Every structure is written in structure tokens, then in C-alpha cells.
Amino acid sequence: MSKTQSLQFARHLHPTPLPADQRAALLKNPGFGRVFTDHMVSVRYHESKGWHDAKIEPRAPIPMDPAAAVLHYAQEIFEGLKAYRTADGGATLFRPEENARRFQQSAERLAMPVLPESVFLEACDLLVKTDRAWIPDGDGSLYLRPFMFANEVFLGVKPSSDYLFLVIASSVGAYFKTDAPAVSVWVSTEYTRAAPGGTGAAKCGGNYAASLLAQAEATRHGCDQVVFLDAVEQRWVEELGGMNVFFVFDDGSLSTPPLGGTILPGITRSSLITLAKDKGIKVREERYSIDQWRADAGTGRLREAFACGTAAVVTPIGTVRGKDGEFRIGNGGAGLRTEELKAALVGIQRGRAADPHGWIHKVF
């Protein structure tokens, strides 16, 4: 399949989109992932036909056969990216080509067909253009959720012959509900997220299903997120349930766990590495153990830690808790380095700063 295949999207626009006053009420305080726009985009795939039946239509429940493969064997992948409102009344996406490529890599790992990058981008653009009124002002954004699932009606265990790719959009504010200046994390020693050779580097629903019990344990211990350690030695910090992690040291340098197949190659992570290097900040992609984290927080060698991802943006980590007790990082709130990197990233994402790496994709 060519990388630049183009499909004609049929347009069935909503006859009765939500009235502006009701939409405005929803956009006042949307939270994360509960407010959805009027439309959705979809493309079908069948092994005999390839990609076909591309369309935009009113967002609605999708009819599914109870024997659809995804409901049994979880052959499903997804992406997450944000559209921002610009000062000139337009809209932009941040590095959507990277999401398209990661979607292709996730598809390969899950034995699914590879969606051409151009179709992924066209689908996202079309939804943002159509539902532009749903992009919140201020600090909010329109979170796009492209996803694809196995739709063959068959209970045999094999890659499906039939798939549905969809993009939905949700008007969002901050991911974390807390008003605290930093989040708290729970170190899971009971559960792991991904083993070597597994699906840790793919963005597939199954990874998140497997993380829920650990996340529930984190919540029970009063923490906002779970931190996973490596599955082999139960020693090396990997990532959070839905974010990558960075550490900031007393010499101003940064470190983040290396990509080795068991963590998600975050686009925010890679952008922050580039921005830090632009500023002359040293960044190491190296393993960091939970024991070293605790020891360095105690001596003050570790000054800050933060989580990063599309949903979380850059969020300081203030407290680390686990079965051996808890420790605080720095003053337990936001640190200067974290704030500096966040400002650099958000400045580019929101069009307030120059875009030297060409990361901004103008939708209209």
C-alpha cells in the first residue's frame, strides 16, 4: 500500500449539530474525555478490497456483531493527539505525522493492516475542520482519538480479515483533576506493564486493560498515577500508566528511560529531548532504578521529576509512594527545569513561539 494513498471521504454532515449555547456550556469545564463533538470519521478495510468506504458522518453508536474479533481477542490500536486554536482563528495539530507513523508500527505489532500516513492525516484534518467550533479557548484543546479494531465475525484466533478505522474528537481541559502543583505516583511491585517481546511499545488497548488493576491500586493508595518497573528485574523505572517520565538532576541534566521495546515511544518525550538539547541541556536516555530514585531524592542529587504525554503535557511529580514507604521530590511541587521545558513545548504547540523543527501542522 502506497504511503500517499488518497481516499475520497464522503460527507454526511450532521443535520442537527448541538446548538451553540449547549456546546458553550459543555466547553466551560470539559475535563478529559467526556465531551464529544458532532462528527466522526471512518474508513473500512477488508483484505479483499483494501481501504475503502471513507466518510465523515454524525457521531453515533456503531453496530457490531457480538462475534466481532476485537470483543474476544482485543486486536485494537489507538492514538492520541491534540488540535489547538490559533490566534488567527485557525487550527493546528502537533506532529501528527509522528502519530500516523506510530499507528503504523502499532498495526504491524498487532498483525493489522498499515493505514497510509496520508489517510490518517486526512481523517484528522477533516474532523478538526468540520468540528472546529468544539476546540476550546484558553488552555483547552481538541483531543483526537484515532483507533482501529478487528471487525471480522469469527471466533478463530487469527488476524482479522476486516477492520474499522475511526477518528473521534473530545474537547478537553487538563487530564489530572487535582489542583495540587504536582501529582503523586504509586510504584507497582505487584504488576508489570510490558515484558521484552511483548506489546509495550505499541499503543494497543490491551496494554491499558492490563494496567487498570495497578492504576486502581495507585488510586487506593491516594496516588494519581502508577509507575511501572521493568518486568525482568523489577528494578528499572519504565513509565507511568499513560505517560513517559523524566528526571532532573542537580547539575541541570535530564535522564529518561531508554526505548527498548517495553515502553511507549512518546512524541512528547522525543520533543522534550530535542528541546532540551536545543537549550544545551544534557539528556541521557539511560536506565534508572527505583532504589537510585529514592536515594537521589534523599540526597538532593535528584531535584525534579515529571510525567509527559499528549494528555498530561508536562506534569511535575511531587511524591513517590510504594510498599516500602514514600519519598518527596524537591519541594514536592513544580521545579524550574520542568517549568522551563513545559513552557518551551507549550509555546510551540500553541503557536506562541517559533517552530524551528517544523512540528506544527496547519489544518486551516
Interface ranges with ligand COI (CB under 6 A): 80, 242, 309-311
Q: Which residue has the cell 507511568?
A: 240
Q: Which is nearer to ligand PLP, 17 or 198 (CB)?
A: 198
Q: Exactly one of 267, 276, 314, 345 binds ligand PLP (CB under 6 A); which one? A: 267
Decide if residue 37 touches ligand PLP (CB under 6 A): no
203 part of the active site: yes
CB atoms closer than 10 angstroms to residue 360: 17
* Local structure of 208: helix, strand or coil: helix
Decide if residue 309 touches ligand PLP (CB under 6 A): yes
Calpha distance 251→281 (Å, rounded) = 10
Decide if residue 182 touches ligand PLP (CB under 6 A): no
CB of 52 to ligand COI, least distance (A): 28
Greatest Cα pair distance in the chain:
63
Answer with the entry of ligand COI, ligand PLP, none that 42 interacts with (C-beta below 5 to 8 A by kind): none
CB of 304 to ligand PLP, least distance (A): 18
CB of 284 to ligand PLP, least distance (A): 18
Reported residue count of the chain is 364
Return the closest-CA partner of residue 99 out of 34, 170, 148, 37: 148
Q: Is 270 exposed, middle or buried (0-12, 13-18, 19+ CB in 10 A)?
A: middle
Contact between 155 and 200 (Cβ < 8 Å): no
- Catalytic residue of the set 203, 279, 323, 362: 203
Q: Which is nearer to ligand COI, 80 or 318 (CB)?
A: 80
Phi/psi of residue 44, each to 5°?
-100, 155
C-alpha cell read off for 300: 538532593
Residue 225's DSSP bridge partners are 185
Decide if residue 170 touches ligand PLP (CB under 6 A): no
Decide if residue 242 touches ligand PLP (CB under 6 A): yes
Return the closest-CA partner of residue 239 out of 261, 206, 216, 272: 261
How many Cα atoms occupy the beta-carbon half-sphere of 241 within 13 Å? 23
Q: Which is nearer to ligand PLP, 55 or 257 (CB)?
A: 257
Q: Which is nearer to ligand COI, 104 or 310 (CB)?
A: 310
- Specify the stretch interacting with ligand PLP by CB under 6 A; choose among 163-171, 229-237, 238-246, 333-341: 238-246
Answer with the entry of ligand PLP, ligand COI, none that 256 interacts with (C-beta below 5 to 8 A by kind): none
Q: Which is nearer to ligand COI, 192 or 310 (CB)?
A: 310
Answer with the entry of ligand PLP, ligand COI, none that 239 interacts with (C-beta below 5 to 8 A by kind): ligand PLP
Q: Do the bridges between strand 183-188 and strand 313-322 make them parallel or antiparallel, or are there none, so unpaired?
A: parallel
CB neighbour list of residue 156: distance below 8 Å, 6 or more residues apart: none
Calpha distance 312→75 (Å, rounded) = 26
Q: Which is nearer to ligand PLP, 226 or 320 (CB)?
A: 226
Residues 61-100 that bind ligand PLP (CB under 6 A): 80
Q: Which is nearer to ligand COI, 200 or 242 (CB)?
A: 242
CB atoms closer than 10 angstroms to residue 127: 29
CB of 29 to ligand PLP, least distance (A): 23
Annotate each residue in 204-233 with x if it binds ligand PLP (CB under 6 A) or - if it does not, as one string.
Answer: ------------------------------
CA 135, 137, 139, 142: dihedral to nearest 10 degrees?
A: 0
Decide if residue 188 touches ligand PLP (CB under 6 A): no
For binding to ligand PLP (CB under 6 A), which residues are involved?
80, 239, 242-244, 264, 266-269, 309-310
Residues acting as catalytic residues: 203
